[in-house]
Amino acid sequence: MQFRPLWALQGLLKLLLLTLMLPACAVAEIRTAAQEASEPKYIAILNPQGKLAVGGMCVDIMRAMERADSELRFVGDQIWQPRARIDAALNAGNIDVICGVQRIARNTSQYQFAPTPLFTVNYLLAVRADDTVSVGDWDDIRKLGNEGIILALRGFGIVDILTQMGGLKIDDTATSSISNLKKLLAGRGRFYCHRKPGIGLAIRQAGLEDKIRLLSKPQLTEKFYLGMAKTMSPELVRKIAAVLVLLEENGELRRIFERYQE
């Protein structure tokens, strides 16, 4: 048997002790929540065990971020919350990020944004299938006055955007697409404005494909981002921004978005 000199053993022991003393890479737990009525950002699914879970574009994006950077871990994405409660929790310091928000004044006052857009959507108008209305732009809808009420979801960014356009009649009292589709059929609104992907799924889930049609115009195009608490550490903000750049460059954000096209 070959014996090592004492000085060599002492050196190995010091190296071992130094290794044990090195700090492990800390995993950053990033708190979030699943936003209700935001399909396909968040959708109810059956997991491999056959139990009800939360999936959708945002869940896929967060899992992709975790795979790209093992020091990131999102928690809370399996807990449903309405948008207003998510905003309140973020402002109270109980949530760190919200997935899929627009750069509108109401949001920029609450969050900071990762520069890379998560996805880009078009907003479409739905009408009753038997409604012969034909509009080419938003001025045509303004001219309809009270006969051109636009239904939208309470607390969603599209309400702010339509309001800022001016002259449009907006009803944003509903909190789900199914409620607005029912209001549309009951004649309590002429149009329902919602994003694609999302609006086609809502129509199919309600079984209203033969009763609701989508107009080709006018449309609005909007980018959605990851909103982060303004109190988040600069280091974590940089890590999140860097991993989203990576997912944009390798095409993963595009692939996730394409999985949810209607």
Domain architecture of the chain: domains with CATH: 28-119+223-259 (3.40.190.10), 121-222 (3.40.190.10)
Task: Break the chain down into helix, strand, coil percent, rounded to 5.
Answer: 40, 25, 35
Give the H/E segment covering residue 192: strand 191-196
pLDDT at 18 over 70: no
Tokens (6 digits) for 226: 């990851």
State pLDDT tens for residues 49-104: 899 999 999 999 999 999 999 999 999 999 999 999 999 999 999 999 999 999 99
Q: Give the pLDDT confidence score for residue 239 in this predicted structure.
A: 97
Q: Give the pLDDT confidence score for residue 26 in this predicted structure.
A: 82
Tokens (6 digits) for 87: 């905003």
Q: Give the pLDDT confidence score for residue 48 in this predicted structure.
A: 87
State pLDDT tens for residues 186-242: 999 999 999 999 999 999 999 999 999 999 999 999 999 999 999 999 999 999 999
State pLDDT tens for residues 61-73: 999 999 999 999 9
Q: Give the pLDDT confidence score for residue 8 in this predicted structure.
A: 42
Higher pLDDT, 19 or 186: 186
Higher pLDDT, 142 or 20: 142
Angle at 59 between CA 62 and CA 76, to 5 degrees: 85
In which band, very low, low, confident or very high, does the pLDDT at 14 lie, cut at 50, 70 and 90? very low
Give the H/E segment covering residue 171: strand 170-174
CA gap 133, 135 in Å, rounded: 7
CA gap 95, 89 in Å, rounded: 6
Q: Give the pLDDT confidence score for residue 25 in this predicted structure.
A: 56
* Three-state DSSP class for residue 72: strand
